[in-house]
Structure 1
C-alpha cells in the first residue's frame, strides 16, 4: 500500500467514524478488535481445524549467530487457513486496522509516519531489534 493509499484510508476512516468518536469508545473498540482477531484464529484451530498449534520449548543456543536464529525458531503453526477462516481473519484484521487508524486520527498522528518510523527502526536495528 502506497503513501497515497494510506492517506486516503486514514481520511476515509475519519469520514465514516461518526457515532463513536470518543477516545474512550475508539480505544475500547480497538482493544475489542484485538480480541476478535485472536478469537478468529483460535476458531480456525478449535472449530475448523485448518490450523494446528504444536508448541514446545524454543531451543536457544548461544553459540549460534543471531542471523541464523530466525531459522531455528518455530511458529508452532501447521496447516493453512481455509478460505472461510482466511476471510474471517482478514475481516477482523481490517476492523483492527480501522480502529488503530481512528486512534491515529484522534491523536493527530499520520498512519504513514507510524509505519515509516517503525520501518526505520527495524532497518537501523535489523536483527538486533529482537522482537
Structure 2
C-alpha cells in the first residue's frame, strides 16, 4: 500500500512547480539548495557557534576486529546541538532541497515513495554492511 502523504507531497510539488520545469533548471536548483544546506551548517559553526566541528583522522579497527567495531571507532566530528534558529534555517533549507528532489522525481516519472521503500529494504537487508 502506498503512503498517501508521499503521493500528496509529490502531487503538490508537481502543481507548485511553475518556473523551473526544465530538467536543467531542476538540477541546478537542486545543486543550489544543497549548497545552501552546506552554508547553513557552516554558519551554525562559524557565525552562531551552537555546534563545533572537531575533526581528526578517523581511526580504523585492525583487521582482527569485526565490522561492529567500526561503529565505536568512527566519529561524527560534531559537538553540541543546533540552536532553535539554526535548526529552523536548516529545516527550511532541507525542505527546499526535498522539493527539488521531488521535482526531479516528477520530471523523470519516478515515485518518491517507491524509491524510499527500495532504499529502506536495501538497508534492512544489508544492515551495516551497506558501508555508507
TM-score bracket, normalised by the shorter chain, equals: over 0.9
Whether 1:21 and 2:21 are equivalent positions in the alignment is: yes
TM superposition shift of 1:69: 1.5
Aligned partner of 1:104 in structure 2 is 105
Aligned to 2:8: 8
1:58 offset after TM fit, Å? 1.0
Q: What secondary structure does 2:60 align onto? A: coil
Equivalent residue for 2:72?
71
Q: Which runs of 5+ in 2 are unaligned?
A: none
**Aligned equivalent of 2:43:** 43
Give the paired residue count: 130
Determine helix, strand or coil for the equivalent of 2:52. strand
Rounded Cα–Cα distance in structure 2 between residues aligned with 1:71 and 1:13: 40
Q: Tell me how large the CA RMSD over aligned residues is.
A: 1.1
Paired residue for 1:92? 93
TM-score, normalised by the number of residues in structure 1: 0.95
Aligned to 2:121: 120
Give me the whole-angstrom Cα distance separating, in 1, the residues matched to 2:44 and 2:121: 34
Name which of structure 1's ranges 115-124 and 65-74 shifts more when overlaid on structure 2.
65-74
1:60 match: 60
**What's the offset of the Cα at 1:7?**
0.6
When the two structures are superposed, what TM-score results if normalisation uses the length of structure 2? Answer: 0.95
Q: State the distance in 1 between where 2:42 and 2:3 align.
A: 33
Deviation at 1:14, TM superposition (A): 0.3
Q: Which runs of 5+ in 1 are unaligned?
A: none
Q: In structure 2, what is the Cα distance between the partners aligned to 1:84 and 1:64?
A: 42
